[in-house]
Amino acid sequence: MAPYTLILSSAFKPYSFSYPLLNRFSKFCRIFGNVGGRFSSNIYTTDPIDPTEEKFDKILIANRGEIACRVIKTCKLMGIKTVAVHSDVDATAVHVKMADEAILIGKAPALESYLKMENIIEACKQTGAQAVHPGYGFLSESSTFAEKLEQNNIAFIGPGIKALIGMGDKLMSKKLAKEANVNTIPGFDGVVKTAEECVKIAREIGYPVMIKASAGGGGKGMRIACNDDEAKDGFRFSTQEAASSFGDDRILVEKFIDNPRHIEIQVLADKHGNALYLNERECSIQRRNQKVIEEAPSSFLDTATREAMGKQAVSLAKRIDYSSAGTVEFLVDSQKNFYFLEMNTRLQVEHPITECITGVDLVQQMIRIAKGHKLKLNQSDIPIRGWAIESRVYAEDPYKNFGLPSVGRLRKYIEPTHIGKVRCDSGVQEGSNISIYYDPMICKLVTYGLNRKEAIDSHVRALDSYVIRGVTHNIPLLRDILTETKFVKGDISTNYLPQVYPDGFKGKQLTEEEFRQMTAIACCIYFRNQLLYRSYTNQDRSKLQGKELDKLKIAVAVDDKKFAAIVSTGQDCINVSFNSEGTADYKIGCGFSLSAPVFNVQINKQEYTMQLLEKTPVSLKLQFQGTAFQVKILTEYARDVSKHMLEKPKMDQSKVIISPMPGVVKSVNCKPGDMAVEGQEMCVIEAMKMQNCLLASATGKVKTVNIKVGETVEEEQVLVELE
């Protein structure tokens, strides 16, 4: 049969498919619905919403941000009214605007609002909400909260109290996992009470060890220790973070499995003894034990291993009478041996990629189960359809330890949903404020396709087109990972980031040709700007008329690279030459607008998606292949004059302690007049419940201490000075 031509959208070129492939693609489109648009209910085809089924009338979402918005979307599809709760600083947040009702529950700190159980229960009573969906984080895994809701005849959209208690304590969860015949990691089965005891146990187990909070998850309260000193520090900081994040400072120690993969199994179980697994998610790309990029399925697992892991996950769910959506996390070594890590008794951040490949709405299933309905699905109904990738777009600086938080207002914000096969789960909009009080996540960017390569390619295009201004973000790191050789091959582990970036992330490392292409585009933009500065009478400046701009000699500098360029007009293009003869090295199309936040530019007929971040008369800041590059451009005269300019003296940073991020001062361990030695702890700063110890980088006497415990500090603020 002759090939069919199928036009995907205006953003795609026509592709020819053979008839069998066309059938498969048609099935894919039925699963995912309008893949070129925003979040669509059409992706959920495996178990569609039954409008005749009994449901809750009103649900309160005890959370904020993107996960609150995500739950509200499904509630709307199900015809359920929603109540949003919010702190004072979240009064105008997106989730508040989306809900049918909104209730103020306290001040900005989570302990005074989103963790205030009595306020949330009172909000349920005021609004008549019959159930609470906790999202993830905050009270989502609190058995105390679930019990209080039950006492007030309010349904908890999550597992039963027994499961919350059993899986919420890592010591008990490990014991229960063993009873369910689930493979477990060697370690100490008890609570570690002191730093000295932690060192003793670590020696007995054998370094490296993982020191982690008995309660909670999400990477908080977790430290890897390879020696006694690291074990002492790890115990101290894990204890403090656990107390701050979960109100429970108990710590345990277990063997750290070096270079494993982090693969988790999504499970669903109802209150009638039915349970199944929805395949796996690969979550190995992590920093500070927090996931950065996830994908489903895993490129590493085979069918037999997937089935074995799934069966063990279901066995654990049945052992604890689990009833809701939950996730059993495993560490998997190079031989496909897998070990139980923990069970998250809630909706996971990365749940959208499972939804994409299975067609199952996990929020809908949680609500149905909480209402008492049986699962309609059997294990044989759960497919693996295509491939999905999620990256967590954060307001943070990836150049600082792979991501220290950034705060500020989103002065410009455009999601790349026009790319096609893109889903953006976000809780922000242009004008939203990213504060120090909550997690700095901006969006969960999800792409899906028929295979892994297609999902990766769509993701790269989406990241290139994602416009975020006002805060520092981690898109440069995300994009670089997605195009890095080991990741593309699927050769990844939880040690991926330190292996690939041993000296930290430095931005996209351009090849010589890529560097020249980026610089040529900068020269083209500069040339067009010069044209705009000119005054013309009765002429169309877009046609590049004007003899004085037929050719322009300029000096270009990017970091330590400096060279001369000749820019001239061509036939419907601008020519850029880096050679003394002036012959064109690069022909750049003129069909892009300098006023657009994102533009596609053709250079020697090769297309790039770029962003012009900043523009001054002498420099441009371009986002090229995800990374921002500062390009300094001067005329020959300006270059000659600049040689006589004095350089601003640089601060001797060895004599000062500077805050690497905005945050709150948790402790100050020095005072004026003290002698400090290199490597000594001077203070601790906390942001988004993660603690950072700041050390002296030189030996000297403390001159001034500019902070007090409890104060809020800004990024780059001088905290302590040495003489």
What is the domain partition of the chain in residue ranges?
Answer: 58-157, 187-255, 262-500, 512-533+548-643, 656-722
Edge-to-edge strand list for the sheet holding 58-61: 101-106, 81-87, 58-61, 131-133, 155-156
Supply the pLDDT for residue 232: 93
**Size of the chain, expressed as the number of residues it contains:** 723
In CATH, what number does 512-533+548-643 get?
3.30.700.30
CA dist 321 and 273 (Å) reads 7
Written as one string, the DSSP assignment of 342-378 is EEE-S--TTHHHHHHHH---HHHHHHHHHHTPPP---
- Partner residues linked to 27 by β-bridges: none
Contact 217, 238 (CB under 8 A): no
The number of beta carbons lying within 10 Å of the beta carbon of residue 28 is: 16
Supply the pLDDT for residue 547: 45
Q: What is the pLDDT of residues 413-453, one digit of tens each?
A: 999 998 888 999 999 999 999 988 898 999 999 999 999 99
> Encoding tokens for residue 39?
């979040």
Residue 496, Ramachandran bin (φ over 0: left; ψ between -120 and 50: alpha; else beta) = alpha
Torsion angle defined by CA atoms of residues 34, 37, 43 and 44, in that order, rounded to the nearest 10 degrees: -120
Q: What is the pLDDT of residues 101-146, one digit of tens each?
A: 999 999 999 999 999 999 999 999 999 999 999 999 999 999 999 9
In CATH, what number does 58-157 get?
3.40.50.20
Written as one string, the DSSP assignment of 200-265 is HHHHHH-SSEEEEESS--TTTTEEEESSHHHHHHHHHHHHHHHHHHHS---EEEEE--SS-EEEEE
Q: b/e per residue, 375-414, with b = 16+ CB within 10 A?
A: bebeeeebeebbbbbbbbbbbbbbbbebbbbbbeebeebe
H helices then E strands: how many in the chain?
A: 18, 40
What is each CA distance from 125 to 6, 140, 156, 313, 644, in whole angstroms?
54, 19, 14, 37, 72
Strands (E), 241-337: 251-255, 261-269, 275-287, 290-296, 324-332
Looking at the annotation, which residues are catalytic? 346
Q: What is 262-500's CATH topology?
A: D-amino Acid Aminotransferase; Chain A, domain 1 (3.30.470)
Contact 622, 518 (CB under 8 A): yes
- Partner residues linked to 577 by β-bridges: 566
CA dist 68 and 85 (Å) reads 9
Same CATH fold, 656-722 and 512-533+548-643? Answer: no
CA dist 420 and 10 (Å) reads 10
> Encoding tokens for residue 11?
């953003």
Q: What is 187-255's CATH topology?
A: Dna Ligase; domain 1 (3.30.1490)
- Terminal alpha carbon distance of the chain: 83
Q: 454: which residues sit within 8 A by CB, 6+ positions away?
A: 387, 421
Written as one string, the DSSP assignment of 584-635 is -SEEEE--S-TTSSSEEEEETTEEEEEEEEEE-SSEEEEEETTEEEEEEEEE
Q: 335: which residues sit within 8 A by CB, 6+ positions away?
A: none
Tell me which H or E stretch contains 477: helix 475-483
- Domain 656-722 belongs in CATH node 2.40.50.100: yes
- Partner residues linked to 701 by β-bridges: 675
> Per-block average pLDDT, block size 10, for the chain (723 residues)?
28 31 39 39 87 97 98 97 97 97 96 97 98 97 97 98 93 92 86 92 90 74 91 91 79 86 98 98 93 97 97 98 98 92 96 98 98 97 97 95 89 93 96 91 96 97 97 97 97 95 94 92 88 62 51 85 86 85 82 90 91 90 95 80 76 86 91 93 83 89 94 92 92
- Partner residues linked to 720 by β-bridges: 657, 705
Is the four-CA dihedral 410, 416, 418, 424 of positive or negative sign?
Answer: negative
> Encoding tokens for residue 14?
């026509």
Q: b/e per residue, 2-26, with b = 16+ CB within 10 A?
A: eeeeeeeeeeeeeeeeeeeebeebe
CA dist 528 and 520 (Å) reads 12
* CA 570 to chain CA mean position, Å: 43
